Structure 1
């Protein structure tokens, strides 16, 4: 059950318009409010009702475009979800929320209608991401090989799209446990990103995190810490302070200190991670501890 709270003093009605429509309702005894499309609510609290263990109350508070945390999060999503058309961006968003079958169906439809080489290479790349997210690394590698073959013929060596393919080849090798190969491609990807993207771009944070993850699994903790700290620096600048991804970054650094035997430092970062998770996740929701 959703319980919505509207405080007119905290929002601009010109930006987030809503209207009381009780007198126009088919059921006059009910209080009805009409919201504009794209109205955004902040989740304030989720509680289980005492009378019914299967019923939960979700407390929502209306917000608007002037909310600084919403603005930060929106800008981050816009940078992460990109593509030449709305359908391509929809595919990326579908992947991001874990609807892999829908993403695959969409990209196969786009592939059937594609004629431009760059578009075809992009779709092959996204189909590889679908397979990768399912853990189907061999199949992902086949699509990445197709994508890379086209991209290398039409793109400059420093194009970010080429870097993205290198990154996902690295992720495929990582998934197969081939850490040296993964590191090789992650670094090829990072070299392009560092020369072609702004220094606080979220893709750079992901790239630093990936390299840190490989070094941690190889037992090279000092190098892992170096890259995890770079990831954290960008994440702190581009996400709200209670975002779960920030908790993940703190947790990753904690795990490195843990592996190094520096338990006081590890505890410090684990507690930072826990504090965010306690405010952004329900106590029964499993925490997402690593970005791999």
Structure 2
């Protein structure tokens, strides 16, 4: 089993740790080993855990359809064991990850419905505070993507309060909430309010995991656009390039997280007048995002918007076509008023003028 490390927890916990360590091969090897056990040696609970663990690993690998299928089955299986706290935990984990899958597909309403049901069940079954906090955090992300910022803020508040009430809470959970609070304030346009929680997420996670962690890189990549909007361009660009170096070394150049960071780096280079470099970076980010998410996913709209603004100076028709596409994609998936949709509308009006 080469370099795989086993942590001594349950199957799902071991796979989560391996995924956190960016060891997808190790996680797959563990799943193969457990899946190869004779059926007579496996309980129904073990089968449910195997399905849940497989869905988590597939999601981390970007295998969205397989993840959705395995997680849906895991929800059905773990629902039978909700009479025990461990069964409730597994059910909530499966629901949480399926909601993440639906969010990644741009199916925000489906994700919200899954999480709302899970929170109702967590209250009835007296689930652990940490499980409830994780669900509130994920629901906050979904609300933010929908443009429902007040609802998102309420969810993050609840998650933070729950985590603060837990002794020996995991640093990663706390860092994730601060990361998301920073992202919410960024989406609201309050960049000064976004800076502190985003910096706190980096500090907490870096202390726990070190500088070469994927999660630390993601935190730095999220802090960078906040600093950019605050005019701290050098720090923003340096942070983003550091994050990209880690993410590309872990996943290669054609990964979703790499594409998001490249799109943000394009915005920085665009603002600094390096137009040709920015054009290449926007186009690269768009190509990878389309490959991973499809051509109609709402997360593509911001890159289309920025690329449209850049190109309309040289080719007004091409620039307008990109802006119209961004407007069409986003207007079908978010509620108005939404800041990105409003920005796209303003850019279209400016191009018409």
* TM interval, short-chain normalised: 0.5 to 0.7
- Contact 1:251–1:270 (Cα < 8 Å) also in 2: no
Q: Mapping of 1:24-35 within 5 angstroms?
A: none
Show CA shifts across 1:218-256 (max 9, x none). 222111111111221122112233335434433432332
1:172 maps onto 2:180 in alignment: no
Counterparts of 2:189 and 2:169 in 1: how far apart (Å)? 27
Show CA shifts across 1:245-291 (max 9, x none). 43443343233233223x2xx52464255357557748x94756399
Show CA shifts across 1:118-154 (max 9, x none). 2222211121111111111111111111111111010
Counterparts of 2:151 and 2:248 in 1: how far apart (Å)? 35
Q: Which residue of 2 aligns with 1:120?
A: 132
1:148 maps onto 2:160 in alignment: yes
SS at match of 2:186: helix
Q: Which residue of 1 aligns with 2:13?
A: none
Say if 1:280 and 1:158 are closer, same or farther in 2 by CA, change over 3 A.
closer
Show CA shifts across 1:1-38 (max 9, x none). xxxxxxxxxxxxxx9xxxxxxxxxxxxxxxxxxxxxxx
1:186 maps onto 2:186 in alignment: no
User: Cα RMSD (Å) of the superposition?
Assistant: 3.4
Structure 1 residue 186 displacement after superposition? 0.3
Q: Which residue of 1 aligns with 2:116?
A: 108
SS at match of 2:189: coil
Q: Which residue of 1 aligns with 2:276?
A: 267
TM score, norm. by length of structure 1: 0.63
Q: Which residue of 2 aligns with 1:236?
A: 248
Q: Which residue of 1 aligns with 2:149?
A: 137
Q: Which residue of 2 aligns with 1:214?
A: 226
State how many pairs are aligned: 216
Q: Which structure is higher in RCO with an 8 Å CA cutoff and minimum separation 6?
A: 1
Structure 1 residue 199 displacement after superposition? 3.8
TM score, norm. by length of structure 2: 0.53
Say if 1:157 and 1:278 are closer, same or farther in 2 by CA, change over 3 A.
closer
Structure (1/2) with the larger strand percentage: 1
Gaps in structure 2 of 5+ consecutive residues: 1-31, 33-56, 72-88, 307-339, 341-353
Counterparts of 1:129 and 1:280 in 2: how far apart (Å)? 19
Say if 1:191 and 1:156 are closer, same or farther in 2 by CA, change over 3 A.
farther
Structure 1 residue 73 displacement after superposition? 8.8
Structure 1 residue 76 displacement after superposition? 4.8
Gaps in structure 1 of 5+ consecutive residues: 1-14, 16-71
Counterparts of 1:277 and 1:113 in 2: how far apart (Å)? 39
Counterparts of 2:100 and 2:288 in 1: how far apart (Å)? 28
1:256 maps onto 2:268 in alignment: yes
Show CA shifts across 1:199-228 (max 9, x none). 443322221111110111122211111111
- Contact 1:158–1:196 (Cα < 8 Å) also in 2: no
Counterparts of 1:175 and 1:75 in 2: how far apart (Å)? 25
